[in-house]
């Protein structure tokens, strides 16, 4: 009888290739906090020994079990043996990979143990990443289960050969109260730090600076907005930053756009915003959108992935056509120019994210997947 079937503790080893505290890492921490008593999550990640590791450091600070897989450089082949030893020490019932490197190394380290792959999203941001992601999609065929956050992701994976019976759609969830508290604390403090006056409005975009995230569309939308009392704030970093900064320096945007780079306080940044803009060309179910809703910031979002469903087809935020800066600008203007509508959207969004996208709901659904995988061994 498996551990899961016996109702005993099921140790689940999560592997993520990141030393930052971004969206997927925040999700993993939230899920660990919300874990059922009979589960024992362990968070593991690659990194250099002795170096800061924001993800694992945050886990340890809260008493969440965490293990470093030491590596010297991103392509250190010895990580396979090091992960294999960690697996032997912990004897987890399930291995869960959270990106293409994690999935590959987990498979090489232990081919027999039940394995679940969580697809947070593919970017294809450059040819190298595109190749790695193509290899990952083939590796998914060998997983006991593949978790995606939205139905369009499931459809795409089935199209590339993943067994549909193994794909599970589990929407993202967040700790809404935690987000809201950080947002409230951050509003006045960060607006002052950014030099934003009480009479100015902030439109905020949160995410990696990469073509699929559409920050170039956000710049075009903001140029069309034309309001001199508004600032566009981009939180995040990435390969697209130089081109975006060049565009923002042109006369129609000069002095109106702030590039804040990578931040470890995204919830506080959301609290400083008056509108959250999601201009993405592709998404699954964006965590940043859920966080903005919990923070009480009205959203204007492109109709991609599960966005329209999350925003209840416009009841909890404005949904516009993807790739349309003019539509984004019009929607932003409508929210900023109607304080009553602004506040109503914020209230409906906060209520919806609590009702439908809480972390406890997501954690229970994921745990069912892990138990099923453990029982298949």
Mean pLDDT computed over 332-354 = 95
Residue 111 scores a pLDDT above 70: yes
Q: Are 351 and 319 in contact (CB under 8 A)?
A: no
Residues facing 257 on adjacent strands: 232
Q: Single out the residue of 225, 275, 2 nearest to residue 113, CA to CA.
A: 2
The Cβ of residue 355 has, within 10 Å, a number of other Cβ atoms equal to: 10
Selection from 139, 149, 141 nearest residue 166 by Cα = 141
pLDDT (average), residues 258-278? 96
CA nearest 13: which of 75, 68, 61, 78? 68
Per-residue confidence band for 72, with pLDDT thresholds at 50, 70 and 90: very high
Cα dist from 322 to 214, 243, 281, 335, whole Å: 9, 21, 6, 18
Evaluate if pTM is beyond 0.75: yes
| Cross-sheet strand order for the sheet of 167-169 | 66-70, 39-47, 10-16, 94-97, 115-118, 145-148, 167-169
What pLDDT shows up at residue 226? 84
Q: Residue 376 — pLDDT band, cuts 50, 70, 90?
A: low
Confidence band of 108 (pLDDT split at 50, 70, 90):
very high
Mean pLDDT of the chain: 93
Tens digit of each residue's pLDDT (9 = 90 or more) over 193-207: 999 999 999 999 999
**Kind of pairing between the strands at 299-302 and 167-169:** unpaired
Angle at 53 between CA 148 and CA 92, to 5 degrees: 55
Pair 297, 336: CB distance under 8 Å: no
Number of neighbouring beta carbons within 10 Å of residue 377: 13
Helix axes 339-356, 325-336, angle to 10 degrees: 110
Query: Average pLDDT, stretch 142-161?
Result: 92
Length of the chain: 377
Residue with the larger pLDDT of the pair 304 and 139: 304
Phi, psi of 15 (to 5 degrees): -120, 125
pLDDT at 262 over 60: yes
Nearest to 202 by CA among 294, 139, 131, 276: 276
Whether the per-residue pLDDT at 79 is higher than 60: the answer is: yes
DSSP state of 84: H
Q: In this predicted model, which residue has the larger pLDDT, 130 or 209? A: 209
95-18-74-106 Cα dihedral, nearest 10 degrees: 0
8 A C-beta contact, residue 310 and residue 357: yes
Q: State residue 129's pLDDT score.
A: 76
Whether 287 contacts 185, CB under 8 Å:
no
Q: What is the pLDDT of residues 92-105, one digit of tens each?
A: 999 999 999 999 99
Angstrom distance (rounded) from CA 325 to CA 348: 25
pLDDT at 5: 37
Domains of the chain: 3-173+359-375 (3.40.50.2000), 176-356 (3.40.50.2000)
Q: Is the pLDDT of residue 350 over 90?
A: yes
* 192: pLDDT strictly greater than 80: yes
φ and ψ at residue 231, rounded to 5 degrees: -120, 145
Q: Where are the alpha helices (DSSP H) in the chain?
A: 3-6, 23-33, 54-61, 79-90, 100-109, 127-139, 151-159, 176-194, 215-225, 241-248, 266-271, 287-295, 307-310, 325-336, 339-356, 359-375
Q: Per-residue pLDDT for 2 more than 90?
A: no
313 pLDDT more than 60: yes
Confidence of residue 125 (pLDDT cuts 50, 70, 90): low
pLDDT value, residue 329: 98
Lookup: tokens for 270: 């959301």
Q: Which of 127-136, 188-197, 324-333 has the lowest average pLDDT?
A: 127-136
DSSP-assigned letters across all residues of 218-239: HHHHHHHH--TTEEEEEEB--T
- The pLDDT tens digits for 23-71 are 899 999 999 999 999 999 999 999 999 999 999 999 999 999 999 999 9
Q: What is the model's pLDDT at position 123?
A: 67
Q: How far apart are the first and last CA of the chain?
A: 10
pLDDT the model gives residue 3: 40
- Integer Cα distance of 375 and 318 in angstroms: 43
Query: Residue 49: phi, psi to the nearest 5?
Result: -65, 135
Give the percent of the chain with pLDDT over 90: 87
The predicted pLDDT at position 346 comes to 95
């Amino acid at each position: 009888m498996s551990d899961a079937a016996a109702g005993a503790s099921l140790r689940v080893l999560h592997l993520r290739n990141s030393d930052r505290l971004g969206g997927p890492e925040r999700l993993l921490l939230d899920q660990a906090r919300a874990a059922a008593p009979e589960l024992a999550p362990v968070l593991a990640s690659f990194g250099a020994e002795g170096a800061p590791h924001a993800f694992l450091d945050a886990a340890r600070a809260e008493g969440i079990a965490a293990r470093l897989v030491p590596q010297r450089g991103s392509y250190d082949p010895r990580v396979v043996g090091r992960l294999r030893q960690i697996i032997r020490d912990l004897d987890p019932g399930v291995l869960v990979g959270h990106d293409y490197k994690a999935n590959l190394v987990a498979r090489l380290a232990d081919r027999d143990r039940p394995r679940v792959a969580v697809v947070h999203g593919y970017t294809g941001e450059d040819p190298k990443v595109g190749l790695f992601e193509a290899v990952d999609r083939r590796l998914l065929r060998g997983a006991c289960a593949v978790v995606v956050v939205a139905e369009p992701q499931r459809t795409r994976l089935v199209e590339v050969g993943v067994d549909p019976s193994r794909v599970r759609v589990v929407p993202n969830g967040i700790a809404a109260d935690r987000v809201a508290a950080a947002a409230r604390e951050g509003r006045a403090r960060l607006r002052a730090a950014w030099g934003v006056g009480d009479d100015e409005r902030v439109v905020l975009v949160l995410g990696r600076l990469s073509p699929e995230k559409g920050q170039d569309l956000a710049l075009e939308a903001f140029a069309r907005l034309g309001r001199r009392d508004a600032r566009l704030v981009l939180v995040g970093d990435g390969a697209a930053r130089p081109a975006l900064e060049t565009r923002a320096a042109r006369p129609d945007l000069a002095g109106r756009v702030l590039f804040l780079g990578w931040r470890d306080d995204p919830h506080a940044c959301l609290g400083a915003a008056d509108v959250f803009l999601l201009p993405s060309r592709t998404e699954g179910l964006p965590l940043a959108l859920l966080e903005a809703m919990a923070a009480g910031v009205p959203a204007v979002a492109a109709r991609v992935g599960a966005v329209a469903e999350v925003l209840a087809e416009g009841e909890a935020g404005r949904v516009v056509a993807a790739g349309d800066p003019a539509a984004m600008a019009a929607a932003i203007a409508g929210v900023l120019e109607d304080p009553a509508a602004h506040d109503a959207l914020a209230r409906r969004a906060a209520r919806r994210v609590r009702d439908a996208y809480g972390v406890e709901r997501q954690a229970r659904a994921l745990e069912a997947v892990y138990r099923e995988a453990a029982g298949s061994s």
